[in-house]
Structure formats: structure tokens, C-alpha cells
Amino acid sequence: MKPLADQLSQYASYHRDRRNIATHRVGIPMIVCGIEALLARPSLAAEGWTLSLALGSTLAAAGFYLALDRRYGVVMAALLGASLWVGTTIAALSTGAWVLTFAGLLVIGWVLQFVGHAVEGRKPAFVDDLVGLLIGPLFIVVEVGFALGLRDELRQELERRVGPTRSGRIVRTASS
């Protein structure tokens, strides 16, 4: 497995426009909750536990994040746990409400992703590397952490590798 800075810099190279990052801050959690809801419906009760694909994928993803970075892994495990709870709650709705809710979350979440990438003028990272689908949620947590002043050494390393984020506004100079 590539180290944290390598994973994040690969993903970050597709996400330097702050408007694209903003669409991801909304869209990615919607997609994660939509996937959890989709995967939570088919379940099996065993020994007082409810086992589902959502639980299995949540545990696998949490393991990936913990192996990548302990501190971010703990945060991601907590957020995935909350998403699993949301998804399980949605899965308990009537079939029609469940389908409308998970489909709505997925469609709106993905539309936001593609709008952000249209603004940035770059294709999504997962087109070139499917691991980007796992790094996306982590990237949002990392970006929020950076905004709070956390892990500045990691922010500096990412900016050294792929450059700083930009506002997306056109800056005119005296010569233009």
C-alpha cells in the first residue's frame, strides 16, 4: 500500500480548485451514506447481530484507513460508523422510501462531483485509479483538518508535490 502522502497527493492533483473541493465536501458524504443505505438492506440476522454488506464494507474501509494512518483512521472509522447508522436507518424505511432516498443521495452526490470536476476542468481521480474512490472521503476529512490548522506538515508536503489550492477566480495583472 502506498504511504498516506502518496495516496493523498495522487488524489489532490485532481482537486486543486476550492470550488471543486467544496462540491466534494457535500457530495462525497452523500455518496457514502447512499452506498451504506444500498448495502444495508440485504442483511442476515445471526446470534442477535444484523450482518449486512454495509457492515462488511464499513469494516473493510475502516481497516484500510487505519492501516494508512492511525489518526485519520480513527476519525474515518467514526465517520463510517455514523454513515452506517444513517444507511441502516434509511434501509429500514419502506421499499419505495428506501429506493428514493439512497438513489437520491447517490444521484445528487455524483452530480455534485461531476459539476466540481467540470469547474476544475479535470476528470475525477478514480477514472485513472479506482483507489480514488476510497481516498475521496479521506481527502475531505484531511481538507477539513487543514482548515482547522491540523497536520500542517502534511498540508505542506501535499502543496510541495501538487501545488496549493486555488480559488478559481481569474486574477488579472496590470499587463493583462
The pLDDT value recorded for residue 6 is 95
The pLDDT value recorded for residue 47 is 86
pLDDT tens digit string along 41-82?
Answer: 988 888 888 899 999 999 999 999 999 999 999 999 999 999
CA distance 79 to 8: 18
Q: Which of 155, 153, 160, 159 is nearest to 144 (CA)?
A: 155
Please tell me whether the overall predicted TM-score, pTM, comes out greater than 0.85 for this model: yes
Average pLDDT over residues 85-114: 97
Phi, psi of 128 (to 5 degrees): -95, -20
Q: Give the start-to-end residue ranges of the domains of the chain.
A: 4-162
In this model, does residue 170 exceed pLDDT 50?
no
Q: Do residues 117 and 123 make contact, with C-beta atoms less than 8 angstroms apart?
A: yes
Q: Which of 158, 160, 164 is nearest to 4 (CA)?
A: 158
Q: What are the cell numbers at 101?
A: 432516498
Mean pLDDT over all residues of the chain?
Answer: 92
CA distance 76 to 95: 29
Maximum Cα interatomic distance, the chain, rounded to a whole number of Å: 73
The pLDDT value recorded for residue 62 is 98
pLDDT band at residue 168 using 50, 70 and 90 as cut-offs: low
